[in-house]
A and B are shown apart, each in its own frame.
Chain A
């Protein structure tokens, strides 16, 4: 009974729900990128690495310039750059995309930690780096509960939420989106119709890098206010799971990210309440497995996902 009372009181905490949105934001950005990339037929398990690169270079530039715009831009750019490496390997070199993705993840971990040691080894990253701004919404902020949940959220949280319908509209309601899906389902047919398979795929892979990079910058600049080795600690893999869980659909992926965000937030809110928080932390993962087995069923990837395409003569 006491346990239930504790649980109820935690569910009434705005912190829990604000935290859900906060934790879901970087996952959402990365997962949306994954959806776009895989819809075009390039398997992307490298969101983890792209986020890590974004996280590091935003802090590096922030420390050097104290300019939040430059810092954010460079994280997005570097995410896109390492995604382009994955693109070259997957598209032009026709490498196994899982191999290339794992290589990118390892490379990002190695490179960022290596440079971390080079630049900040003894001191850690400086504490006076600028953060991404919070958005205080005047009227909503004063509403009890709601105000505490969404009245003062970070700009990136709003961007991530905004990106969901945008990505959906882009993929399913624009001409370019149709082309992307065509390339992911049947590249030969798309090629015959004069669509450049390579160009579309590069665009989508790089787009996923830009989004993941921004997610990484949010983690380092605004959540942690610092960079530490391997600080994404699996967020990119969770985003990958969310993408599949959401059946390669932006809205589905977002809902999955909310679930994971909720689980993380719940774990933190339960700390010190006597609940075994380590086990609570595992609940979203258990839920995912149960949901996947019970309700979601067979997740079908785009038909040409992971299949390198060779331009015909």
Chain B
């Protein structure tokens, strides 16, 4: 290769690289839709109707788009928590518990000081959610660094503990004001501490999408900035890549493990606060498993800020779209879990995708320059 061709080659190569890194997940989605369609067909329903209803349900109206975002945001934030730990070589399987702690801490603060000015309260609640989530994940990081306790067990066990604590707080009383129906739920989040709704009601009545969307975008920027633009991020990635080499290079591996978990947990804490601030109350068992689905989102998004954001939107759209599909096409909304699983499966089975691309004559995309 001559020097003269380099400047021309480089952007083209980069574009090709970008396409190549995106084509896997896109093809995975296509394959998932096909296989999922077969499942629907075999079970005796029309897959075209199912997908049509799902699509319309997810993005068919401005209101649905707003709801799709609401379904996506906790997934995206929790996926940042999974992914940030991944980058340090840690499998944070317990984002669920970390987000419960974030939800509990922020709700406690907001309901205990309901008369504080809104702007102060909401900022403090965000901080409290991040600290609580970060501390909860930090325990696992610290134990890993100190004793080598496997983070898959500790984060998962701590998840169950956090969820049990929330059950106790809401079912046995400490956070539950007496209410007419005796339902386990916290008191209301004071209205002045709400996230502002993005679209005013005269544009889109009843839209619930709030400024937590901007918080999520900001979180993505911070995620990428820490990892790729700071010495800390470099060290975290070095530890994730090869802890022995990192230690040899003078990096304090133990400390980086703890810091990575704390930062990861802070993302999860935020993920827990946001849905509470949509419902304006902390309900018992409020999370439908955001922390677990986030693992899939992180994997499909390939641990990058943008990838996770897009994967989270896709998963959120499927979740919201499934409501309309179940109601209108009488097909179980759990088709979504099947689709999500298939996407994840095909993303994992890279070899299969490569083989398919090669058969399709798209060799150039497969062997993109590193």
By a beta-carbon cutoff of 8 Å, the part of chain A in contact with chain B is: 89, 93-96, 98-100, 102-111, 113-118, 121, 229, 234, 237, 240-241, 244-245, 276, 278-279, 281-282, 285-286, 288-289, 292-294, 296-299
By a beta-carbon cutoff of 8 Å, the part of chain B in contact with chain A is: 39, 43-44, 91, 93, 139, 143, 146-150, 152-154, 156-158, 160-161, 164-165, 167-168, 171-172, 293, 295-296, 299, 331-332, 334-342, 344-345, 347-352
Report how far A229 CA is from B295 CA in the complex, Å. Answer: 21
Indicate if the CB atoms of B153 and A245 lie closer than 8 Å: yes
15 more contacts with CB within 8 A, not counting A103-B296, A234-B160, A289-B161, are A89-B349, A93-B350, A95-B345, A98-B91, A106-B337, A106-B344, A110-B339, A110-B340, A113-B337, A114-B338, A240-B156, A279-B168, A281-B167, A292-B143, A293-B146
Which chain B residues lie closer than 8 Å to A298 at the CB level?
A: 147-149
Decide: A285 near B160, CB < 8 A? Known: A102-B344, A114-B39: yes
Report how far A282 CA is from B161 CA in the complex, Å. Answer: 5
Among candidates B161, B165, B338, residue contacting A111 with C-beta atoms closer than 8 Å: B338
Indicate if the CB atoms of A293 and B334 lie closer than 8 Å: no
Q: Report the minimal beta-carbon distance from A242 to chain B, rounded to whole angstroms.
A: 9
Most chain A beta-carbon neighbours within 10 Å: one of B150, B154, B158, B295: B150
Indicate if the CB atoms of A240 and B160 lie closer than 8 Å: no
Indicate if the CB atoms of A104 and B341 lie closer than 8 Å: yes
Nearest first, the 8 closest Cβ-Cβ pairs linking A and B are A110-B337, A117-B332, A99-B348, A298-B148, A107-B341, A106-B341, A110-B338, A113-B334
Among candidates A115, A240, A286, residue contacting B43 with C-beta atoms closer than 8 Å: A115
Report how far A64 CA is from B91 CA in the complex, Å. Answer: 42
Q: List 13 A-B contacts (CB under 8 A).
A: A89-B345, A89-B348, A102-B296, A105-B341, A109-B334, A114-B337, A234-B160, A237-B93, A241-B156, A279-B164, A285-B164, A288-B153, A297-B148
Which chain A residues lie closer than 8 Å to B148 at the CB level?
A: 297-299
Indicate if the CB atoms of A114 and B345 lie closer than 8 Å: no
Decide: A229 near B334, CB < 8 A? Known: A99-B348, A244-B150: yes
List the B residue with the shortest CB-CB distance to A96.
B348
Most chain B beta-carbon neighbours within 10 Å: one of A94, A100, A110, A276: A110
Among candidates A95, A114, A282, A285, residue contacting B334 with C-beta atoms closer than 8 Å: A114
Indicate if the CB atoms of A278 and B164 lie closer than 8 Å: yes
Report how far A299 CA is from B240 CA in the complex, Å. Answer: 19
List the A residue with the shortest CB-CB distance to B169.
A278
**Dominant SS at the B interface?**
helix
Indicate if the CB atoms of B335 and A114 lie closer than 8 Å: yes
Q: Report the minimal beta-carbon distance from A189 to chain B, rounded to whole angstroms.
A: 23
Which chain B residues lie closer than 8 Å to A234 at the CB level?
A: 160
Q: Report the minimal beta-carbon distance from A214 to chain B, rounded to whole angstroms.
A: 23
Which chain A residues lie closer than 8 Å to B350 at the CB level?
A: 93, 95
Report how far A111 CA is from B345 CA in the complex, Å. Answer: 14
Report how far A89 CA is from B331 CA in the complex, Å. Answer: 29
Indicate if the CB atoms of A100 and B349 lie closer than 8 Å: yes
Decide: A285 near B348, CB < 8 A? Known: A102-B299, A293-B149: no
Indicate if the CB atoms of A107 and B164 lie closer than 8 Å: no
Report how far A102 CA is from B148 CA in the complex, Å. Answer: 24
Report how far A108 CA is from B158 CA in the complex, Å. Answer: 25
Indicate if the CB atoms of B332 and A278 lie closer than 8 Å: no
Which chain A residues lie closer than 8 Å to B171 at the CB level?
A: 278
Q: Report the minimal beta-carbon distance from A125 to chain B, rounded to whole angstroms.
A: 15
Q: Report the minimal beta-carbon distance from A133 to chain B, rounded to whole angstroms.
A: 32
Report how far A103 CA is from B149 CA in the complex, Å. Answer: 26
Indicate if the CB atoms of B153 and A241 lie closer than 8 Å: yes
Which chain B residues lie closer than 8 Å to A95 at the CB level?
A: 345, 348-351
List the A residue with the shortest CB-CB distance to B143.
A293
Report how far A128 CA is from B76 CA in the complex, Å. Answer: 44
List the B residue with the shortest CB-CB distance to A88.
B349
Q: Report the minimal beta-carbon distance from A157 to chain B, rounded to whole angstroms.
A: 24
Report how far A245 CA is from B153 CA in the complex, Å. Answer: 8
Which chain A residues lie closer than 8 Å to B342 at the CB level?
A: 103, 107
List the A residue with the shortest CB-CB distance to B160.
A285
Most chain A beta-carbon neighbours within 10 Å: one of B156, B295, B351: B156
Which chain B residues lie closer than 8 Å to A109 at the CB level?
A: 334, 337, 341
Indicate if the CB atoms of A285 and B341 lie closer than 8 Å: no
Indicate if the CB atoms of A106 and B296 lie closer than 8 Å: yes
Decide: A114 near B299, CB < 8 A? Known: A95-B351, A102-B344, A245-B153: no
Indicate if the CB atoms of B335 and A281 lie closer than 8 Å: no
Which chain A residues lie closer than 8 Å to B43 at the CB level?
A: 114-115, 118
Indicate if the CB atoms of B160 and A282 lie closer than 8 Å: yes
Indicate if the CB atoms of A285 and B338 lie closer than 8 Å: no
Report how far A89 CA is from B341 CA in the complex, Å. Answer: 13
Report how far A235 CA is from B76 CA in the complex, Å. Answer: 26
List the B residue with the shortest CB-CB distance to A229.
B334
Most chain B beta-carbon neighbours within 10 Å: one of A95, A113, A244, A285: A285
Indicate if the CB atoms of A99 and B39 lie closer than 8 Å: no
List the B residue with the shortest CB-CB distance to A245.
B153
Indicate if the CB atoms of B157 and A241 lie closer than 8 Å: yes
Indicate if the CB atoms of B338 and A278 lie closer than 8 Å: no
Report how far A196 CA is from B172 CA in the complex, Å. Answer: 57
Q: Report the minimal beta-carbon distance from A109 to chain B, rounded to whole angstroms.
A: 5
Decide: A100 near B337, CB < 8 A? Known: A114-B332, A285-B158, A292-B153: no
Report how far A97 CA is from B146 CA in the complex, Å. Answer: 27
Report how far A286 CA is from B156 CA in the complex, Å. Answer: 11
Indicate if the CB atoms of B157 and A286 lie closer than 8 Å: yes
Among candidates A103, A110, A118, A299, residue contacting B336 with C-beta atoms closer than 8 Å: A110
Decide: A94 near B341, CB < 8 A? Known: A288-B157, A293-B149: no
Report how far A98 CA is from B152 CA in the complex, Å. Answer: 11
